[in-house]
Amino acid sequence: MSIELQSQAAPAVELPRLNRSLRPSAKAPVRIVHLGLGAFHRSHQAWYTHQAGDAADWGIASFTGRRPDAALALAEQDGLYTVVERADSGDSFAVVSSIVEAVDGADMQRLAALVAAPATAVISLTITEAAYRLGTDGHLDSTAPDVAADLALLASGSGSPTTPLGRLVLALAARRAAVAGPLAVVCCDNLSNNGTVAHNAVVGLAGAWDADLAGWIDANVSFVSTSVDRITPRTTDADVAAVQAACGYRDTSPVVAEPFSNWVLSGDFPAGRPRWEDAGAVFVADIEPYENRKLWLLNGAHSLLAYAGQLRGHTTVAQALADPLCLRAVESFWDEAEANLSGADLQIPAYRAALLARFSNARIAHHLAQIAMDGSTKLRMRAVPVLRAERAAGRSGAAAALMIAAWMDYSAAAAAFHDPLAEEAAAANRLSGTERIRALLGLVDPALAGDAAVVGLLEGLCGTFGELAVAP
Ligand SMILES: NC(=O)c1ccc[n+]([C@@H]2O[C@H](COP(=O)([O-])OP(=O)(O)OC[C@H]3O[C@@H](n4cnc5c(N)ncnc54)[C@H](O)[C@@H]3O)[C@@H](O)[C@H]2O)c1
Ligand SMILES: O=P(O)(O)OC[C@@H](O)[C@@H](O)[C@H](O)[C@H](O)CO
């Protein structure tokens, strides 16, 4: 006779889901509409709003970009989620309650209703650099297929736009129709002069549809420029499990960030704003020095490490920085960038030292593949200005050029090359020698591609980090 043994393991206890019943907190009225409900919005703008002294008056309705998933998951938690501050020494956990509505970005009706509501004072954006669809001249590329499709939809008066810019323009048209008054658009994407970029993109798209609307936006919408900083990698399953183990509830939307955070803003808020300064935000008249310091030193080093590091077989920022060849490249780029940074109180040596410590935080697994995406757009802000400034000063700009050369090698080697100009880069990579370099450089900066000396410099630098096939 055989005896069948049955597992006597106790059934797993289902932990309660994080929501406003488990963690009672009143919902603030919606006064901020956000486009781009991603990881960074949750670790930064929503976190600052949660900590403002007047947080009870400032709720955020946050819309996703491409898919509804993040909104569905957050809506099940009444907008609550956990911010995990991950330091070298350990994790700390805090529940953030400023997001009071999480909405699928395709819900144009809800977006228009909220933007048209007189109570709405701020529209913030984290839609990624590439979503502004800037041409190499810094203006909206209205021939980009998705932009052209949205323009056709707007002109026909039927159907819903699919780009965040198209959706925002249609929502602003609803605000004009509702006579709801002026407000501020606060761009929080890593772009230089991001308020002006957002202005050019929004007014450019609106003007191609309805010149009167473009005039209304110019007269009624203040485009605030910002420098935003808090390293926030994509959340992993292990992060979700860590929150569950430490907090005793289920949260499917936690976000992990470094302890450091910084927010510098410049511009008007005609309908008011939260007291973000309570959480450390700084309001300045001239943002450019702060913006360049961050975009060149932090983001520039990130892009350099992303391409050089992956070519050298590394996966994360901390791993790449531990490679002496990559570290030397970063230090040389910083020397060039520093020579072109000016502004009182920038404290560059301390800033550089702090960056080395932040990048070396091995508990933050910041994946190089994520940083590497959309390089053709990012290099225009992270490498090109330093290269141009160095050459204008009579120097070679070799360290900034090395970042572009590493991107070129990566564009040829990567198994998955994510870029708005991926097809054009693939075509350029079918060329060889100088022609290939010129064609690739033309995707980043056509004027530089016409400079034979720069093309020669890049050609000599390609191959510095090897050309091995990289993991996607
Ligand atoms: N993660 C960081 O450490 C960090 C720090 C500073 C600034 N930022 C800025 O925030 C942006 C978003 O970063 P994240 O970490 O939240 O990314 P994420 O992928 O978590 O979220 C991005 C959001 O934008 C939407 N989106 C992405 N591409 C889009 C497109 N082409 N059109 C429309 N919507 C699009 C996504 O659907 C998502 O809602 C970055 O691109 C950067 O400019 C990020
Ligand atoms: O977010 P991206 O894609 O613009 O750039 C990748 C990283 O350089 C960036 O996310 C930094 O970690 C961030 O800007 C730090 O504040």
For 325, the token pair is: 């060849």
73 within domain boundaries: yes
Give nearest CA residue, ligand 1 atom 42: 189
Average pLDDT on 399-422 reads: 97
10 within domain boundaries: no
Average pLDDT on 121-150 reads: 92
pLDDT computed for residue 138 by the predictor: 79
Helix/strand/coil for 146: helix
422 within domain boundaries: yes
Q: Is 54 exposed, middle or buried (0-12, 13-18, 19+ CB in 10 A)?
A: middle
Q: 384-392 and 324-339 are packed helices; what angle lies between their axes, rounded to 10 degrees?
A: 60
| Cβ–Cβ < 8 Å for 126, 45 | yes
Distance CA 447, CA 36 (A): 32
pLDDT exceeds 70 at position 259: yes
Q: Which of 263, 285, 307 is the last residue of a domain?
A: 285
Average pLDDT on 439-452 reads: 97
H or E stretch at 425? helix 422-429
pLDDT exceeds 90 at position 450: yes
Pair (256, 398) in one structural domain: no
Give nearest CA residue, ligand 2 atom 16: 229
Average pLDDT on 252-280 reads: 98
Distance CA 219, CA 158 (A): 27
pLDDT computed for residue 469 by the predictor: 45
pLDDT computed for residue 232 by the predictor: 98
- The DSSP call for residue 371 is H
* Tens digits of residue pLDDT in 221-240: 999 999 999 999 999 999 99
pLDDT exceeds 70 at position 311: yes
Q: Which of 251, 285, 319 is the last residue of a domain?
A: 285
| Cβ–Cβ < 8 Å for 369, 320 | no
What is the domain count for the chain? Answer: 2
Whether the CB of 64 sits within 6 Å of ligand 1: yes
14 within domain boundaries: no
63 within domain boundaries: yes
pLDDT range class, residue 12, cuts 50, 70, 90 = low
Whether the CB of 382 sits within 6 Å of ligand 1: no
The amino acid that residue 128 corresponds to is: T
Give nearest CA residue, ligand 1 atom 33: 65
Pair (174, 70) in one structural domain: yes
Closest to 181 measured CA to CA, from 220, 145, 137, 144:
220
Whether the CB of 258 sits within 6 Å of ligand 1: no
| Cβ–Cβ < 8 Å for 198, 131 | no
* Tens digits of residue pLDDT in 270-309: 999 999 999 999 999 999 999 999 999 999 999 999 999 9
Pair (214, 247) in one structural domain: yes
- Which residue range is the domain that position 410 belongs to? 289-461
**Which ligand has its closest atom nearest to the C-alpha of 65?**
1
Pair (242, 346) in one structural domain: no
Please spell the DSSP secondary structure of 325-350, one letter per residue: HHHHHHHHHHHHHHHT---TT--HHH
| Cβ–Cβ < 8 Å for 329, 303 | no
pLDDT computed for residue 7 by the predictor: 38
Q: Which of 265, 285, 305 is the last residue of a domain?
A: 285
> Residue 142 Cα, ligand 1 centroid: separation in angstroms?
21
Q: Are strands 282-283 and 99-103 parallel, antiparallel or unpaired?
A: unpaired
For 274, the token pair is: 């939260």
Distance CA 234, CA 255 (A): 8
pLDDT over 90 for what percent of the chain? 92
Give nearest CA residue, ligand 2 atom 6: 371
Pair (332, 389) in one structural domain: yes
φ, ψ dihedrals at 470, nearest 5°: -100, 155
pLDDT exceeds 80 at position 107: yes
Average pLDDT on 315-333 reads: 98
For 106, the token pair is: 């395709």
Closest to 102 measured CA to CA, from 116, 84, 114:
114
Please spell the DSSP secondary structure of 197-246, one letter per residue: HHHHHHHHHHHHH-HHHHHHHHHHEEEEEEEEE---PPP-HHHHHHHHHH
Pocket test for ligand 2, best of 189, 229, 231 (most atoms within 8 A of CB): 231
> Residue 231 Cα, ligand 2 centroid: separation in angstroms?
7
pLDDT exceeds 70 at position 339: yes
Q: Domain containing 255 — which CATH number?
A: 3.40.50.720
pLDDT range class, residue 4, cuts 50, 70, 90 = very low
- The DSSP call for residue 297 is I
Pair (310, 443) in one structural domain: yes
Pair (256, 369) in one structural domain: no
* Tens digits of residue pLDDT in 151-165: 999 999 988 999 999
pLDDT range class, residue 356, cuts 50, 70, 90 = very high
| Cβ–Cβ < 8 Å for 118, 77 | no
311, 313, 314, 320: CA torsion to nearest 10:
-60
Distance CA 423, CA 428 (A): 9
* Tens digits of residue pLDDT in 361-405: 999 999 999 999 999 999 999 999 999 999 999 999 999 999 999
Whether the CB of 37 sits within 6 Å of ligand 1: yes
Pair (309, 335) in one structural domain: yes
φ, ψ dihedrals at 61, nearest 5°: -100, 115
pLDDT exceeds 50 at position 321: yes
Q: 433-444 and 452-461 are packed helices; what angle lies between their axes, rounded to 10 degrees?
A: 110
Q: CB atoms < 10 A from the CB of 472, how many?
A: 10
Q: CB atoms < 10 A from the CB of 314, how many?
A: 21
**Which ligand has its closest atom nearest to the C-alpha of 301?**
2
Pair (145, 83) in one structural domain: yes
Average pLDDT on 72-82 reads: 98
| Chain Cα centroid distance, residue 152 | 28
Cross-sheet strand order for the sheet of 90-96: 90-96, 81-87, 255-257
For 240, the token pair is: 């979700």
pLDDT range class, residue 10, cuts 50, 70, 90 = very low
Pair (394, 352) in one structural domain: yes
Pair (89, 170) in one structural domain: yes
pLDDT over 70 for what percent of the chain? 96
pLDDT computed for residue 467 by the predictor: 66
Distance CA 407, CA 398 (A): 14
Distance CA 104, CA 212 (A): 29
Give nearest CA residue, ligand 2 atom 3: 371
> Residue 362 Cα, ligand 2 centroid: separation in angstroms?
17
> Residue 53 Cα, ligand 2 centroid: separation in angstroms?
28
For 108, the token pair is: 């144009």
Q: Which residues have any ligand 2 atom within 6 Å of their CB?
A: 129, 190, 229-231, 298-299, 302, 371
366 vs 4, higher pLDDT: 366
Pair (305, 414) in one structural domain: yes
First to last CA, the chain: 55
Whether the CB of 164 sits within 6 Å of ligand 1: yes
Whether the CB of 38 sits within 6 Å of ligand 1: yes
